[in-house]
Amino acid sequence: MNVYDSELVGSLLEECDYTLTQDMSEADAVFLNTCAIREKAEETVHNRLDNLHVLKRTKPNMILGVLGCMAQNLKDDILESRPYVDVILGPDSYRRIPEIIKARQGEMDNFVDTRLSKFEVYDDLFPSRHDGVNAWISIMRGCDKFCTFCIVPFTRGRERSRSIQSVVDETINAVSQGFVEITLLGQNVNSYRTPDGEFPELLKAVAKVEGVKRIRYTSPHPQDIDDALLEVMRDHSNICNYIHLPLQAGSDRILKRMNRTYTQQEFLDLVDKIYEYMPNCSISTDIIVGFPGETEDEFLETLDVVKKVHFDSSFMFKYSSRPGTKAAEYTDQISEDDKQNRLERLIVLQRKNTLSANLRHVGNTLSVMVEKVSKKSDSQWAGRTDGNMWVVFDKTDEQIKDIVNVKIEDAKGITLFGSRIHTEELIHEAA
Ligand code: SF4
């Protein structure tokens, strides 16, 4: 979402005749687009601001801005501790950038706007994208779920969705610029609703756009995955059979305390339902260990669900307390040592699961979209499967953005290795 928002800000700056530079010391304006979801992300921004202060001393006219969730959440703190920051804009205020740039030429003081909007979805703005395979498209903003550990509802405001037509228009625009994969984004992507339809209708409309080879979306909430969505995914070959399904915790008591609105059994039933519709669907997840009050037995329940579901991959985190959220006020916080110990045990289990999930593909032929030259060798490509797994294979006559068949021969860590199969070879094998 932040990459997408940065691309939106990039297009607003281009309207003011700015161009992108890769060299910070050349920049006339630097905007840090920030995330507040974890403490570590905030620390990174503070360190970056300290470094930029040194640059700003040598270039006093350089505009330095902080955008996004931290701007929303910590504006007073930033204004007080880093008065050299010129601009602070929350996630609903990016449209003000041209006006600020203009006013800046008349040397104004700090500019702060962190009002949250009930309506802003940047419907009519197209982001400034650069070369690549995948175009991110934000379809909704904000979140109404209020998980007790999460700062997003406070920094991003209430849920609101763009029109289906504007998402389709942006998809057509992205395809015309050469992008072949579309990833639909939202804090709660499948809470998307408009008078013209909900998320399944939107997916159908995007799948029909000519030239879209693959569609992904992130992040859904398990509560909003229903039969209509799974049917659309099953019935459209360009919608990837891949779901990121955040579990967060395996114990019912902790799930309730997190306000996740599902039980362990409901989550497991949903996984079964996904496989009924798409037997080869890949499923990844997010897990938080050491949520306040989590006992050793409750953590073991999380491990148990991980064993049962056998996620293809997981994003695993230690609980990070976010001031302002309900969970930050719980008095039974878990020690750093226990959180670290639980995280390490979870990672060991997930690594095993990922490897065995990947090994089950050895001998199979998978569709792979060629995305880039492999980091290890110029004579090899790296691409992703429909299920979001990376595959490395020797180059033959294919190009970046082609979808080709690759026979999987090995799996190491999180990567699959194979060889390109040309159509004739496939026909021969089938014969
Ligand atoms: S659904 Fe996601 S974004 Fe919304 S509060 Fe929960 S974790 Fe945060």
pLDDT bracket for residue 431 (50, 70, 90):
low
> What is the bridge-based pairing of β-strands 87-89 and 63-68?
parallel
Given a contact cutoff of 8 angstroms between Cβ atoms, the answer to whether 6 and 39 are in contact is no
Check which CATH number belongs to the domain holding 401 and give it: 2.40.50.140
- Site to probe by mutation for ligand 1, drawn from 73, 138, 143 as the one with most ligand atoms within 8 Å of Cβ, is 143
**Helical segments of 142-251, H only:** 152-156, 164-176, 199-207, 227-235
Answer whether residue 121 is part of any domain: no
Q: Is the CB of 188 inside a 6 Å radius of any atom of ligand 1?
A: yes
Domain with 16 in it: 2-113
Residue 6 shares a structural domain with residue 88: yes
**Does 337 score more than 80 pLDDT?**
yes
Residue 51 shares a structural domain with residue 101: yes
Answer whether residue 248 is part of any domain: yes
Which tens digit of pLDDT belongs to each residue from 102-119?
Answer: 887 666 678 888 888 888
Which tens digit of pLDDT belongs to each residue from 291-300?
Answer: 999 999 999 9
Packing angle, helices 69-81 and 39-58, rounded to 10: 50
- Site to probe by mutation for ligand 1, drawn from 221, 223, 262, 325 as the one with most ligand atoms within 8 Å of Cβ, is 221
> What is the bridge-based pairing of β-strands 242-244 and 282-289?
parallel
- Site to probe by mutation for ligand 1, drawn from 150, 155, 160, 256 as the one with most ligand atoms within 8 Å of Cβ, is 150
Answer whether residue 404 is part of any domain: yes
Check which CATH number belongs to the domain holding 100 and give it: 3.40.50.12160
Separation between Cα atoms, residue 309 and residue 299, nearest integer Å: 16
Task: Identify the bridge partners of residue 243 per DSSP, sorted by sequence position.
Answer: 283
Which tens digit of pLDDT belongs to each residue from 357-395?
Answer: 999 999 999 999 999 999 999 999 999 999 999 999 999
Residue 111, pLDDT score: 83
Average pLDDT (66-78) is 89
Q: Is the CB of 187 inside a 6 Å radius of any atom of ligand 1?
A: yes
Residue 280 shares a structural domain with residue 176: yes
Question: Residue 332 burial (CB < 10 Å; 0-12/13-18/19+)?
Answer: exposed
> What is the bridge-based pairing of β-strands 140-141 and 63-68?
unpaired
Answer whether residue 162 is part of any domain: yes
Which tens digit of pLDDT belongs to each residue from 36-58?
Answer: 888 888 899 999 999 999 999 99
Answer whether residue 353 is part of any domain: yes
DSSP 266-311: HHHHHHHHHHHH-TT-EEEEEEEES-TT--HHHHHHHHHHHHHH--
Final residue before a domain boundary, out of 328, 359, 390: 359
Q: Which amino acid is at 63?
A: I
Final residue before a domain boundary, out of 49, 83, 113: 113
Residue 261 shares a structural domain with residue 337: yes
**Does 194 score more than 90 pLDDT?**
yes
**Residue 399 has which token pair?**
């190009």
Residue 76 shares a structural domain with residue 29: yes
Q: Is the bond preceding 128 in cis, omega lying within 30 degrees of 0?
A: no
Q: Is the CB of 68 inside a 6 Å radius of any atom of ligand 1?
A: no
Residue 282 shares a structural domain with residue 186: yes
pTM of the predicted model as reported, rounded to 2 decimal places: 0.92
Q: Is the CB of 143 inside a 6 Å radius of any atom of ligand 1?
A: yes
Given a contact cutoff of 8 angstroms between Cβ atoms, the answer to whether 155 and 35 are in contact is no
Answer whether residue 313 is part of any domain: yes
Given a contact cutoff of 8 angstroms between Cβ atoms, the answer to whether 398 and 421 are in contact is no
Buried b (16+ CB within 10 A) or exposed e, 132-149: bbbbbbbbbbbbebebbb
**Does 308 score more than 80 pLDDT?**
yes
Q: Is the CB of 153 inside a 6 Å radius of any atom of ligand 1?
A: yes
Task: Tell me the CA distances in angstroms from 379 to 206, 348, 368, 391, 430, one per residue in order.
Answer: 34, 32, 17, 14, 29
Q: Is the CB of 147 inside a 6 Å radius of any atom of ligand 1?
A: yes
Given a contact cutoff of 8 angstroms between Cβ atoms, the answer to whether 182 and 215 are in contact is yes
Share of the chain residues as helix, strand and coil, in percent rounded to the nearest 5:
40, 25, 40
Among 407, 377, 371, which residue's Cα sits nearest to residue 390?
A: 371
Residue 345 shares a structural domain with residue 386: no
Residue 38 shares a structural domain with residue 99: yes
Residue 302 shares a structural domain with residue 376: no
Final residue before a domain boundary, out of 359, 379, 409: 359
Residue of higher predicted confidence among 209 and 3: 209
Q: Mean pLDDT over all residues of the chain? A: 93
Residue 235 shares a structural domain with residue 335: yes
Provide the number of structural domains found in the chain: 3
Residue 12 shares a structural domain with residue 107: yes
Separation between Cα atoms, residue 112 and residue 339, nearest integer Å: 37
Ligand 1 centre distance from Cα of residue 30 (Å): 29
Residue 177, pLDDT score: 94
Ramachandran category for residue 372: left, alpha or beta (phi over 0 → left; psi -120 to 50 → alpha): beta
Ramachandran category for residue 203: left, alpha or beta (phi over 0 → left; psi -120 to 50 → alpha): alpha
**Helical segments of 290-395, H only:** 296-309, 336-359
Answer whether residue 104 is part of any domain: yes
Answer whether residue 8 is part of any domain: yes
Residue 379 shares a structural domain with residue 325: no
Average pLDDT (23-43) is 90
Query: Which of 57-61, 215-219, 239-243 bottoms out in mean pLDDT, i.e. has the lowest?
Result: 57-61
